Amino acid sequence: MEILGELTRNHRHDLEHQQREAWLTQVDILKDQLAALPDGVVHFELIIPRMGKRADCVVLIGGIVFVLEFKVNSASFDRYAIDQAHDYALDLKNFHKGSHSAPIVPILIATKSTAKGGNLNFATDLVAQPLQVGPTSLGAVILQALRDTPSSSIGPAEWAASGYQPTPTIVEAAQALYQNHDVQEIARSDAGAKNLQETDLRISQVIERSKAENRKAICFITGVPGAGKTLAGLNIAAKRASGHADEHAVFLSGNGPLVDVLREALARDQADREGINKSEASRRVRTFVQNIHHFRDEYLQDQRAPIEKVVVFDEAQRAWTKEQASKFMQTKRGQSGFSQSEPEFLISVMNRHTDWCTVVCLIGGGQEINTGEAGLVEWLTALSDRFPDWDVYASSLLDDRHYTVDGAAVALLQDDRVTKCPELHLSVSMRSFRAEKLSAFVGALLDGNAVDAHELLESIKGRYPVWVTRDLGAARDWLKSTSRGSERCGLVASSGAHRLRPEGIHIKSGVDPASWFLNDKFDVRSSYYLEEVATEFDVQGLELDWAGVCWDADLRFVGSDWEANAFRGTKWQTVRAEERKLYLKNAYRVLLTRARQGMVIFVPVGDDADPTRPPAFYDETYAFLLQCGVPSKPSQVATLQQE
């Protein structure tokens, strides 16, 4: 009863009778099954920060971590429960410092089952396949594991005191922030998270100053791919919305798939947690995450000041130029006299406030992937020409070539009214917790610099597997065997990859991003099935654990540099325009930086009988990837395949 009292005292929600009985059952089983085992420590209801969940029990005996998940009054082991136990073990291995070198054995206990558990199979990272046992076999299974498994040297006290450094997916982060968790609860405690917290503090200072002095301010945050720009933006919007309701802070994005996925994920989560109707949950979510184009169109018709005082514009470099915005407004919205860039119009909407407001622009490097995207210059030009009274705060790297290639933008950043802030640059990739240098490797590869790419890839070898194959079946097999638990895998390809169709990859068929990113492995529409392929437009701002990047002849390595091509009608045409060449290269940059844990690159062999796919279109690309150090098969060390 003492254990039950502690569990009850630390339970954050109303305690249901079912939960109380489940705890009593677990305690009785553990007292019976652990009595004859060596001394160890039991942690009940261990919080898994990144996932926002709790493992039923974690038992540390002899340097081995046993993750116990109970299914009380169940006689079967469903796939969801098996994956859940596996996920907890993987989460500890990847993000809990004390578990990095320790063997981890997840065990699912169905209390009405008589299952014996079977053989113990470890992957190369020392996380075992989940064992499925009945309650009377638990002690024997643990004892057998202790006999057969080399233990680690970590002790119970050291394990419990070691740091937890979670790296959430953007979906997990959005769900946690929407529930009013602090970003420090879900982000790593290393340099990347410290950088994120410094950025958040600087933005808060700007907002408070603007509010106190009735000023209007705009902040430009930059960051390397995966550094947490979207996380930073969501955190700002969530904190201001919960702590300062009068500000009506909102996160705006022109990235339709990102908005759809985040809204759907938040609505599903809220509906499950609160037992409310899904449509009601969706309605609430819309006040937190909005499509920037809907925001724009609303205030095109409504000339009043918006209710929002703090707005975060995600991927602000992708806002439309004056030419693109004017063309769209005149032809699609009936605004015959419209002659502003999208940044100019959006600032003008916020400028309607008579007292104060703060705009936060998130700027990604090398992420312009569509015609008419303005980059940075339109924002700066509008501020210089029309809104000289606004305070401008800019990342100290905003004029770097990775964030603006426009000479006019660089010149505008030299203005005295622009305050440079090093805290507004996110320099450490947090998407790939296994390889922070991934974005640098991809940058060198797309710059055609094989020497630097090779060196950078060597530095992440063993922690982040990257390999290349000419067999799509082998790529699929690797993705299926390497991803464990609910780790998400998927195939991605450029939107210009029209001649992958003979390989069974149809980029024109399109995907439903919410289903592709959120549905489980039993849904044919999900990424897990490795049938539907997502393009750079579907995946930008989102992430997979394991990715299969399918490379077509639209971007070919020829001689000593990359050549851009577009498929028109029945043949490829060389792309001459520098802007379009940049968009294509950036499309591959997006694809190559989607995976958190590793990727395989598929380069077709081609077909001599098909003039649109001769081997020559692919051979040099494959050879260049090998030159960059990408191996032609996965290494035994890097592969997390079951042994």
Q: Residue 440 is inside which H or E element, if any? A: helix 438-446
pLDDT value for 559: 93
Helix axes 377-385, 342-350, angle to 10 degrees: 50
SS3 155: coil
- Mean pLDDT value across residues 419-435: 78
Quote the percentage of the chain above a pLDDT of 90: 57
Confidence of residue 181 (pLDDT cuts 50, 70, 90): low
Lowest mean pLDDT among 180-184, 208-212, 574-578, 611-615: 180-184
Confidence of residue 413 (pLDDT cuts 50, 70, 90): confident
How many Cβ atoms sit within 10 Å of the Cβ of residue 70?
23
Rounded Cα gap, residues 369 and 425, in angstroms: 22
- Mean pLDDT value across residues 85-95: 91
Confidence of residue 433 (pLDDT cuts 50, 70, 90): low
Residue 284, judged by CB atoms within 10 A of its CB (0-12, 13-18, 19+), counts as: middle
More confident residue, 636 or 435: 435
Rounded Cα gap, residues 379 and 133, in angstroms: 61
Beta pairing class for 53-61 and 40-48 = antiparallel
Give the position of tokens 């063309």: 327
Per-residue pLDDT at 627 exceeds 50 = yes
Per-residue pLDDT at 442 exceeds 90 = yes
Confidence of residue 182 (pLDDT cuts 50, 70, 90): low
Q: What is the largest CA-CA distance in the chain?
A: 83
Q: For residues 320 and 293, is the Cβ–Cβ distance under 8 A? A: no
How many Cβ atoms sit within 10 Å of the Cβ of residue 209?
14
Q: For residues 457 and 635, is the Cβ–Cβ distance under 8 A? A: no
Per-residue pLDDT at 347 exceeds 50 = yes
Confidence of residue 624 (pLDDT cuts 50, 70, 90): very high
pLDDT value for 371: 58
Lowest mean pLDDT among 11-15, 258-262, 386-390: 11-15
pLDDT value for 185: 57
In tens, the pLDDT along 460-510 reads 988 899 999 999 999 999 999 999 999 999 999 999 999 999 999 999 999
pLDDT value for 150: 84
Residue 26, judged by CB atoms within 10 A of its CB (0-12, 13-18, 19+), counts as: buried
Q: For residues 584 and 574, is the Cβ–Cβ distance under 8 A? A: no
Give the position of tokens 């090998």: 626
Q: Residue 550 is inside which H or E element, if any? A: strand 544-550
The amino acid that residue 159 corresponds to is: W
Q: Residue 124 is inside which H or E element, if any? A: none
Give the position of tokens 């289903």: 515
Determine what percent of the chain falls in helix, strand and coil, rounding each to the nearest 5: 45, 20, 35
Per-residue pLDDT at 15 exceeds 60 = no
Q: Residue 391 is inside which H or E element, if any? A: strand 391-395
Structure tokens that stand for 278 in this block:
């899904």
Per-residue pLDDT at 640 exceeds 80 = no
Q: For residues 89 and 427, is the Cβ–Cβ distance under 8 A? A: no
In tens, the pLDDT along 217-261 reads 999 998 876 677 888 888 888 888 878 888 999 999 988 999 999
In tens, the pLDDT along 149-170 reads 887 888 888 898 887 777 778 8
- Mean pLDDT value across residues 357-369: 80
pLDDT value for 154: 85
CA 123, 44, 67 angle in degrees (round to 5)?
10
In tens, the pLDDT along 576-585 reads 999 899 889 9
Rounded Cα gap, residues 631 and 610, in angstroms: 28
Separation of CA 389 from chain center: 37
How many Cβ atoms sit within 10 Å of the Cβ of residue 41?
13
pLDDT value for 642: 36
pLDDT value for 54: 82
SS3 610: coil
Give the position of tokens 């609303």: 298
pLDDT value for 187: 56
For CA atoms 297, 298, 304, 309, the dihedral sign is negative
Mean pLDDT across the chain: 87
Rounded Cα gap, residues 235 and 434, in angstroms: 23
Per-residue pLDDT at 304 exceeds 50 = yes
pLDDT value for 239: 84
pLDDT value for 17: 57
Rounded Cα gap, residues 407 and 354, in angstroms: 34
pLDDT value for 138: 94
Which are the contacts of 344, defined by CB distance < 8 A and separation ≥ 6? 322, 378, 381, 382, 386
Residue 446, judged by CB atoms within 10 A of its CB (0-12, 13-18, 19+), counts as: middle
Confidence of residue 365 (pLDDT cuts 50, 70, 90): low
Give the position of tokens 């979510």: 285
